Structure 1
Amino acid sequence: MIFIKRNARGEVIAVSREPVACDNLEAGGWEVANSDEPEVVAFCCLITESANPLSPSDLGLVRVLEDLIDLLIDRAVIRFTDLPPAAQAKLMERRGTREAMHRLGSFDDTGDVL
Structure 2
Amino acid sequence: MVYVQRDEKGRLLRVEREPFESMTQCLSSSDPEVQSWFASRSLHDYLMSLQYSDLELVRVIEDLVQVLVGKGVMAFTDLPEPARHKLQLRAHVRSQVGDLDGRVPEDGRLPY
Given the two structures, how large is their TM-score scaled by the length of structure 2?
0.49
TM-score (norm 1): 0.48
